[in-house]
Amino acid sequence: MTMQRVVIVGAGIAGLSAAEALSRVAPWLSITLLESKRVPGGRAGSFHDRDQTDPVDYCQHVAMGCCTNFIDMIRQTGLQDQFRCDSELTFLYPDQPPSRFVASRWLPPPLHLLASLDAQRYLTAAEKRQIKRGLWNLMRTSTSSLNDCVAADWLDRYGQSSGCRKKFWDVILVSALGEKTEHVSMAAARKVLIDGFAAARGASDVWIPISPLATVFGRRMQQCLVDRGVDVRCGRPVRQITADATVILADDGPETDDVISADHVICAVPWHQLHKLFDRWPAAERKRLPDLESIANIPSSPISGLHLWFDRPITDLPHAVMVGTTVQWVFRRPHDAGREYDSHYIQCVISAAADLTRFSKQQLVDHVIAELRHAFPRAREALLKQHRVVTDPNSVFSIGPDVDAIRPPTQTAFDWLTLAGDWTQTQWPATMEGAVISGRRAAEHILESCQDQHPANAATNAPVVCPGLPRGRLARLLIRT
């Protein structure tokens, strides 16, 4: 019996997830993973600065405890030692003491977060009451009823003042969704606030890489896949996927193209690149594909990472949520334990960064430095030795109410072709968890197909996609599905 060949186009988180699941559950498959960049990881990658020893991540990536599939993938590849799990957040508001956010160990979800909300010193008593009423209404509202609703409209309808918006709702939603509440769907906002915080114990934990992403995904995960027999080819962009399941790799020219015939193809490229791989298909076959033009036109939202090197430490906090400032998150170098550095690294993250075009890069750095010096007294004496601003205009797709109708399912009209990416129908916004789920769903589809065609090689019938965190009795009673 001929070994079936699976070709995965794109080695971002979605492509890595598909390769991990298939190589673990169905080692009898021949799997080829193609990546146009020099290392796997996609947007979860790093760059090398000539003045720094360690690679620097393009932008800080974090996962939450509710990201059960991402965490499972990390464990399945033996990478749990590359992450730190923090159960406590610190919120900083100008001219106010730091506010701790940590779930109660004694109260059951969703009540376990009430004390943390009350502990936010920068919120007035009236604002806390408004927020609690809003969260209660959100828990009692089903996700399906919010599909056509913009978050800002819902917040206005349920009496959330501009102060509450700026100090609470925007702080969480803009960071998590990468877009302003005037644009995002309330269904996506509910996914973050209820599934990501309220529904289960441990959901709001933060998983932070303690090594550069180039090490985590570009080296360690790649090596795990290679050890399982996956053929990982980096620096090999794909020019075309043909209608007969042939993958054509670009090189110096058409005469040097490599051609790979596949039994199954998983297309795990970014949404705005998808259409380029199918633009030479016959019109009749192309009509059977998802609406590639609409997918390509899904709006993007940029995220900026400001990389700052000071001559001394400016804070002992590993990370902090900034409220009422342009900067939304501050991260200290996560992988410097026991090491001496000539400079002290801080990364500032600004999501929904389209408005930053009003600043020059130097103006933005000066503005951010002023915010840091206001928040961290030690920064006032610190000398900025080096800085770099990295903005990806396509960091995430903007998840408005109309976008969910455009996101395609994993399966296509062609049995051999599946799609993967956080932009597919995962019921998650643009997150690493959504990307992992999409890759695992693509793997499940291939496993089902293999089982139908070759029962002797059938893998286990157990689903590859993990369920969410289990909800306790009170959460099931109070939170509508």
The alpha carbon dihedral of 230, 465, 40, 74 has a sign of negative
> Looking at the structure, do residues 277 and 404 belong to the same domain, yes or no?
yes
CA angle 125, 129, 135 (to 5 degrees): 140
pLDDT of residue 449: 86
Asked whether residue 69 is assigned to any structural domain, the reply reads no
Q: Of 465, 452, 316, 406, whose CA–CA distance to 4 is shortest?
A: 452
> Looking at the structure, do residues 136 and 284 belong to the same domain, yes or no?
no
pLDDT of residue 43: 93
pTM: 0.95
The burial of 192, by beta-carbon neighbours within 10 Å (0-12 exposed, 13-18 middle, 19 or more buried), is given as buried
Asked whether residue 141 is assigned to any structural domain, the reply reads yes
Residue 221: CATH number of its domain: 3.50.50.60
Q: Of 461, 447, 445, whose CA–CA distance to 412 is shortest?
A: 445
Number of domains in the chain: 3
- Supply the range of the domain harboring residue 307: 300-397
248 torsion bin: left (phi>0), alpha (psi -120 to 50), beta (else)? beta
> Looking at the structure, do residues 120 and 169 belong to the same domain, yes or no?
yes
Last-in-domain residue among 204, 225, 243: 204
> Looking at the structure, do residues 306 and 389 belong to the same domain, yes or no?
yes
CB 145 within 8 A of CB 175: no
> Looking at the structure, do residues 286 and 362 belong to the same domain, yes or no?
no
> Looking at the structure, do residues 450 and 335 belong to the same domain, yes or no?
no
CB 112 within 8 A of CB 475: no
> Looking at the structure, do residues 432 and 393 belong to the same domain, yes or no?
no
> Looking at the structure, do residues 294 and 429 belong to the same domain, yes or no?
yes
pLDDT of the chain along its 481 residues, tens only?
468 999 999 999 999 999 999 999 999 999 999 999 999 999 999 988 877 778 899 999 999 999 999 999 999 999 999 999 999 999 999 999 999 999 999 999 999 999 999 999 999 999 999 999 999 999 999 999 998 999 999 999 999 999 999 999 999 999 999 999 999 999 999 999 999 899 999 999 999 999 999 999 999 999 999 999 999 999 999 999 999 999 999 875 555 568 999 999 999 999 999 999 999 999 999 999 999 999 999 999 999 999 999 999 999 999 999 999 999 999 997 655 445 556 799 999 999 998 888 889 999 999 999 999 999 999 999 999 999 999 999 999 999 999 988 999 999 999 999 999 999 999 999 999 999 999 999 999 999 988 766 555 555 566 799 999 999 999 999 999 8
> Looking at the structure, do residues 280 and 428 belong to the same domain, yes or no?
yes
